[in-house]
Structure 1
Amino acid sequence: MEFVQQLKPYVAKIAGRPDPVYEVVKLAGDASNRQYFRIRLTDGSAPPTLVAMVFNPADALRSEEAAGDSLPARLPFLDVGRYLQRGGVRVPDVYLEDVPKGFIFLEDVGDRQLFALVHEAGEEARRGWYRRAIDTLVGFQTLTRTRPEPACPAFTREFTHDLLMWEFDHYLEWGVEALYDRRIPEDDRTAFHSHFDRICRSLRKLPQVVVHRDYQSRNLMVHRDELVVIDFQDALWGPVPYDLVALLRDSYVALDEALVDDLVDYYIARAVPEKQGELTREGFRRGFLLQTVQRKLKDAGRFVFIDRVKKNPSFLPNIPTSLGYVRWALARLPEYGELGALLARYEERLAP
């Protein structure tokens, strides 16, 4: 009850009524440290519903993913969101904010994720929704390429070589050592690092764009037949295939391989000219495979971390899908056969 009363001055300001009548329901959480509550106004006020994001102000500037040592000067969620909205990317409206108190009040874009919709949809409808998601991604990338805003946190952070390597090490620490209670000997660790370093150098040579960092089916809401992008606060510079890998090699949705090939072609036709600097279309496809290895190993380790450290085991069932994508990519990268064999010694689910 005390928390509900805490919200009253904010709801009153948004509704334009001194004494609004409203109900508060906590929404299901994910792996983040933020909490979300739906506020339903029952007195005819507009908007009829809104969402309160509640967070610890002391943690507001820090990414929940590794992002280097420096912290942004301003709240990334608000700055990145405003930048995207000004550029025509559909994100939730912000009605009111009180960052020092740990409150942001947002447009309610409903509960329907692309995740749920594509599980229910037929093949052609699924293809159509993913093409729309790619169109939104291309718009996002075009905006950040043509209208950069240097002060926005998304432009002040990047996937450095060290950060990409840290994510590989995150997999070794949690996806191997913690999961199986097994130490990796130094000679094998050195071999892992040699292969990982090679992948990271290749990824860093690709064109770098601002990436959402988690552009997948649970971060795309379907609201009034629009795709609304959420969870964009960790955006940073990264390799051009990164977000497409997150979308099409999604740990929560396993797409048919023929559909994935079609959607990669669809993206390339819209986002990759015949030659983009030194990036050919075949070069993009190879980058897509390398990014799949890097991102999906990181995901597999992250899901164990979330279980062990955050006491949330709900992501563990998604590990086999993540590892399956790594196996799929390595099968198409024969020059990384030694890495595949080394990984399979520690994780049988990565065996060819």
Structure 2
Amino acid sequence: MNTETNTEDAIQVSLLTGWLGSGKTTLLNSLLKHEDMSETAVLVNEFGDIGIDHDLVDTVDEDLVELTTGCICCTIQGDLTRVLRELFLKRVKGEVAKFKRVLIETTGLADPAPILHTLINDPIIATRFYLDGVISTSDAVFGFGQLDRHEEPRKQAAVADRIVITKTDMAEEEQLNDLEERLHSINPTAKIYRVTKGNIKPDKLFGCGLYDPETKTFDVKEWLREEALRDENNTQSHDHAHDHAHDHAHDHAHHPHGEHEHSHDPERHGDGISSFCIRYEEPLEWPAFVAWIQTLITHRGENLLRIKGIINIDGEDQPLAIHGVQHIFHHPVRLPEWPSEDHDTRIVFITKDLKKDIIQNSLEALQLAAKS
């Protein structure tokens, strides 16, 4: 974490993930037809999996298709590093349209960590691409049961910036409300959209990163979404008072999405997933902060599903933005200025089986040691 990175000239990368059968293919196919997908390169596992409309095909070779919408569709073929390098080289040579963002279908991957590893650790790719956000799909009919039975969809929801509930025309309103509430309890900071047949405007899914290339500004508030956690915490005590009666009434009802206790406390479902924000008023000693992060990564990396933060460094006028998923951390981004009068360090965590007090106490201990 000693090197800062510049995102202003780099290409946005979004990851599309979701449990098997959750509607990724339908969503992707719908997006490919949208005129707002111009200047976008879409990386998929197999062309046959998404059934590209032949009327949209402009040019084609073995691994790459250019569509009349201005979108490029390319197969990954197992080696993401090679594909991104070759695609960027074709862009430089003018062999393909000058795309400004990349959407990667992460079929078969439980979480985005391997792709993030490629984006960050490959020296050529790291200077040309940066993560904009993670998009996760959830099946309106079966999603609740899948969240109960499988760890992967819970992790996918936990690390997402945008969650798309698919197949909403096949579900009852109560199912949709239950699923949305469950997803929100796992990840209060993600925006959730209900979609039928993949119909959603691309701008709802993209542009959720720290840097907005359209305005050429850093949108810290939208990226960090710290206020969503404050809203969640403010309602927890109110909701807790109703939990017992609410659960009792629904435990005797039939649920099309599978048997479960009707509680949206992640701990009650065995998720072990927590969302919280740590604030630190005093400027932080950078060497101690780096040591703290590296210790967390080394010993509890599997439990750190997502971290975003804006850091006030002692002796520095400009804040640093940090972003990590599990063991993988982007290089810090130095912001041109503070986004508001609030200069406190704020770090948003989404963790699994790792409590806030453990993290906060360890940071405070290292900072005290550094200043003594």
Common topology (TM > 0.5): no
Which is bigger in relative contact order (C-alpha 8 A, separation at least 6)? 2
- Which has more helix, going by share of residues? 1
TM-score (norm 1): 0.29
